[in-house]
């Protein structure tokens, strides 16, 4: 059966353009069909840094239907797994030597005046006061009250996002295939006895936020402001959708941690 491939290229990177052309030729020689329809592809091959995958997900509105293969083009990120030395070998291994990883996405719903605004992310959502004052919000996890948070902001992080902004905020690294959400406080106010460390909740959990002030908030999803305004309730949970990503059969997350962070 012929398989269709979409090439998603960071055109600002010379290395990305060069590799894309080499792999495109190798794909055609091996019988793959290069498609211009991103939604009809069996595989999407991304060329660039970690931001390339985020841009792809935004382009398909976080509804990935294709299997994603990330080709590294000289950056030090975690998401672009393949350093391609031989284009033909890389292409020949796609169906035989690469395995699937299913990465969790995270969903957020902001409710205000009986209207829901719904967004998704691969890495994280960051919630803060829109006027650079303290964020004051009440957190409930499923049926239980957790805390009244006062601080700079809150991160809600997937395992994939745990090695991104979460680390600089003092959060913990999570293994990619875990199904959980990490709640990481950013500069909690010590006078209010808030949790100082991140908390990891299982996939069945639903996180609710309720306002404890009349201030507007700003929500940043995967590095982009997605919402600014008031809210009556915020609901955060793991998405039913996942990103299917190909990695090498010998992929080792511990090795990658050591390579990228130590």
Condensed to tens digits (0 to 9), the pLDDT of residues 105-124 reads 999 999 999 999 999 999 99
Neighbouring-strand partners of residue 199: 183
**Total-model pTM:** 0.94
Residue/partner pairs of 109-117 with CB below 8 Å, 24 or more apart: 109/234, 109/235, 109/236, 110/219, 110/227, 110/231, 110/233, 110/234, 111/231, 111/232, 111/233, 111/234, 111/235, 112/229, 112/230, 112/231, 112/232, 113/232, 117/227
Condensed to tens digits (0 to 9), the pLDDT of residues 17-43 reads 999 999 999 999 999 999 999 999 999
| Spatial separation of the C-alpha atoms in residues 226 and 126, rounded to whole Å | 10
Q: In a 10 Å sphere around its CB, with 0-12 CB exposed, 13-18 middle and 19+ buried, how is residue 78 labelled? A: buried
Condensed to tens digits (0 to 9), the pLDDT of residues 180-211 reads 999 999 999 888 888 899 999 999 999 999 99
DSSP letter for each residue of 26-75 = HHHHTTPEE-S-TTS-SEEEEEESHHHHHHHHHHTTT---SEEEEEE-S-
Q: What are the CA-CA distances from residue 119 to residues 3, 58, 61, 146 (Å)?
A: 31, 10, 9, 24
DSSP 8-state code for residue 232: S
Condensed to tens digits (0 to 9), the pLDDT of residues 88-98 reads 999 999 988 99
**Class of domain 105-240 (CATH, top level):** mainly beta
Confidence (pLDDT) at 261: 80
Confidence (pLDDT) at 190: 85
What kind and span of H or E run contains 150?
Answer: strand 144-157
Neighbouring-strand partners of residue 101: 245
What percent of the chain is modeled with pLDDT above 70? 99
Q: Where in the chain is the domain with CATH 3.40.50.10330?
A: 4-96
Split at pLDDT 50, 70, 90, the class of 1 is low
Split at pLDDT 50, 70, 90, the class of 237 is very high
Alpha helices in the chain (DSSP H): 14-29, 50-59, 87-92, 165-168, 253-261
Q: What is the CATH number of domain 4-96?
A: 3.40.50.10330
Q: Where in the chain is the domain with CATH 2.60.200.30?
A: 105-240
The arithmetic mean of pLDDT across residues 41-67, rounded, is 96
Mean pLDDT of the chain: 94
Confidence (pLDDT) at 256: 85
Condensed to tens digits (0 to 9), the pLDDT of residues 109-168 reads 999 999 999 999 999 999 999 998 999 999 999 999 999 999 999 999 999 999 999 999
Q: Is the pLDDT of residue 83 over 80?
A: yes
Q: Is the pLDDT of residue 75 over 80?
A: no
């Amino acid at each position: 059966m012929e398989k269709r491939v979409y090439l998603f290229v960071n055109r600002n990177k010379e290395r990305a353009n060069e590799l894309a052309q080499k792999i495109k030729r190798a794909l055609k020689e091996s019988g793959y069909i290069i498609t211009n329809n991103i939604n009809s592809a069996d595989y999407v091959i991304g060329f660039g840094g970690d931001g390339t995958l985020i841009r792809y997900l935004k382009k398909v509105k976080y509804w990935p239907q294709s299997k994603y293969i990330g080709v590294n083009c000289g950056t030090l990120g975690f998401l672009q797994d393949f350093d391609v030395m031989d284009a033909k070998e890389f292409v020949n291994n796609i169906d035989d030597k690469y395995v699937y990883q299913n990465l969790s996405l995270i969903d957020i719903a902001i409710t205000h005046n009986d209207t829901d605004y719904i967004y998704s992310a691969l890495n994280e959502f960051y919630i803060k006061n829109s006027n650079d004052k303290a964020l004051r919000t009440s957190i409930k996890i499923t049926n239980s009250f957790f805390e009244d948070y006062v601080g700079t902001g809150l991160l809600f992080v997937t395992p994939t996002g745990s090695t991104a902004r979460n680390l600089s905020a003092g959060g913990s690294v999570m293994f990619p295939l875990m199904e959980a959400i990490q709640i990481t406080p950013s500069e909690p106010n010590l006078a209010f006895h808030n949790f100082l460390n991140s908390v990891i909740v299982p996939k069945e959990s639903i996180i609710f936020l309720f306002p404890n002030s009349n201030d507007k908030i700003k929500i940043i999803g995967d590095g982009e402001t997605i919402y600014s305004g008031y809210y009556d309730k915020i609901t955060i949970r793991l998405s039913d959708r996942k990103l299917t990503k190909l990695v090498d059969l010998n992929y080792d997350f511990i090795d990658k941690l050591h390579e990228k962070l130590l």
